[in-house]
Amino acid sequence: MPLGTLEMVIVLVVLVVVVLAVVVALAARAGARPSTRLAWRTPGLVPPISHDLQDRVRELCSERKKIHAIKLVREETGLGLKEAKDVVDALEAGRPVPVDVPGEPSARRLDLASRVRQLKADGRTEQAIFLVRGETGMTQDEAETFVDAL
């Protein structure tokens, strides 16, 4: 007996749900975790480091717990291992790092247009749109319009 339209739709929906569940389970098993700081994944850019985080990192370094400091920076900023180590090394050596001052826009955010222009010039328009969305909260259409206008 052939399936009717309603039964086919139900089977298709169940199949899609099962496929999504398998993808999520495989991603979780592989160690994937959601990250809200993907905008900072642009090469060469370091997110602002709060004064509180800097103080905690310096304290850990003074206690000879540099690995813990690097781990803390990675958890708080979403940076990769090398970038987090560079930040910790800079703080330990007394060099400046970007700071996030409450109530003031970050210098990195003020330079968003320049970074977007550079990404566009490099032929990385999709990454430019992603950067705009991550830093401003714009929708896909709004970010595309912003990037196109530059």
The pair of structure tokens assigned to 97 is 């790092």
Is 90 exceeded by the pLDDT of residue 15? Answer: yes
Is 80 exceeded by the pLDDT of residue 100? Answer: no
pLDDT, tens digit, 9 for 90 and up, residues 24-57:
888 777 766 555 444 445 555 566 778 888 889 9
Spatial neighbors of 133 by CB under 8 A, at least 6 apart, are: 39, 139, 140, 143
Amino acid identity at 139: T
Rounded CA-CA distance 36/85 in Å is 20
Element (H, E) at 111: none
Residue given tokens 């330990």 in the structure block: 92
Residue given tokens 């979780």 in the structure block: 28
Quick one: pLDDT at residue 6? Answer: 85
The pair of structure tokens assigned to 31 is 């160690």
Rounded CA-CA distance 90/145 in Å is 38
pLDDT above 90 coverage of the chain, percent: 18
Surface-to-core class of residue 81, CB atoms within 10 Å of its CB (0-12 exposed, 13-18 middle, 19+ buried): exposed
* Helix residue spans in the chain (DSSP H): 5-29, 51-62, 66-77, 81-93, 107-110, 112-121, 125-136, 140-149
Quick one: pLDDT at residue 131? Answer: 81
- Provide the whole-model pTM: 0.42
Q: What is the mean pLDDT of the segment spanning 96-106?
A: 55
The pair of structure tokens assigned to 91 is 């703080």
